[in-house]
Amino acid sequence: MPYGTPGHDPASARLRRHIFGDDAEQYDTARPGYPPQLVQDVLDFSALAARDPALEVGAGTGKATLAFARSGVPVTCVEPDVRMARVLRRRCAELPEVTVEVADFESWRPGRRYGLLYCAQAWHWVDPAARWDRARAALSPGGAIGLFWNHWFLSSGELAERLTAAHARHGIEIPADTLLDPRPRPARRGPESRQWREMTAAGFVAPEHRLYTSVHERSTSALLGLLASYGGYRALPARPRERVLDEVARIVDAHGGHAQVRVITSLFLGRTAR
């Protein structure tokens, strides 16, 4: 059985969401942020009153936090990993209206209701049996929810084929939802998507699904950093991971030492009933 399949990953999703804290600084450096238009669209949809705070679930190292806070919105961040929260606090040190609480969202109890709850690249790590109930409990009547994810693609199909073949030579299955995953991402759109169906089944109304596309140039080292930041690669045994990433580096260097990465950011919006 290749590395990267479920049989080689004994950790539960609840434990695996802490794997990113093993090297929080590397994660913060490697991961791209989110489109400014997305941030504005979320704020416009939520129509927050002046100085009304937003709630961020799974804030990580602040890749989305900074954008919302710099828009003038006070943000309460709930982050389950103390190591990620340490980087988050440092990055937001000059933003006094960012509050960081180290807690699992499933057990965290808000001291107030919020007009906006958003979650960047982390909603899938929250217990599906509890997340929608917890979101409704944290939101005011008519409050908005914004859930978004980045999906990465290599612009060069030839380079993607060579890197995929390198993984096969090392007996490593391409981790799901990563740069080389050949499946369409997002897999479904609008009412056909799981997020839309779950949101409406949980009683959220006025759902919307929006997509944003951006293009980034990545050096060999930056591309390796992106791969290494994925949970699927972090969960691999150290030696197989090192060997395949070493070969990836050689291939990208031979390709010119850089690669173009296309990012599709998928945003789901909804609101609680009034």
Q: Which phi and psi (to 5°) does residue 130 adopt?
A: -125, -20
Mean pLDDT, all residues of the chain: 92
Domain ranges, ordered by start, for the chain: 6-271
pTM of the model: 0.91
Is CATH 3.40.1580.10 correct for 6-271?
no
The Cα–Cα gap between 70 and 48 comes to: 15
Q: Which phi and psi (to 5°) does residue 128 adopt?
A: -65, -20
127-161 tens-digit pLDDT:
999 999 999 999 999 999 999 999 999 999 999 99
Give me the residue label for tokens 């913060």: 28
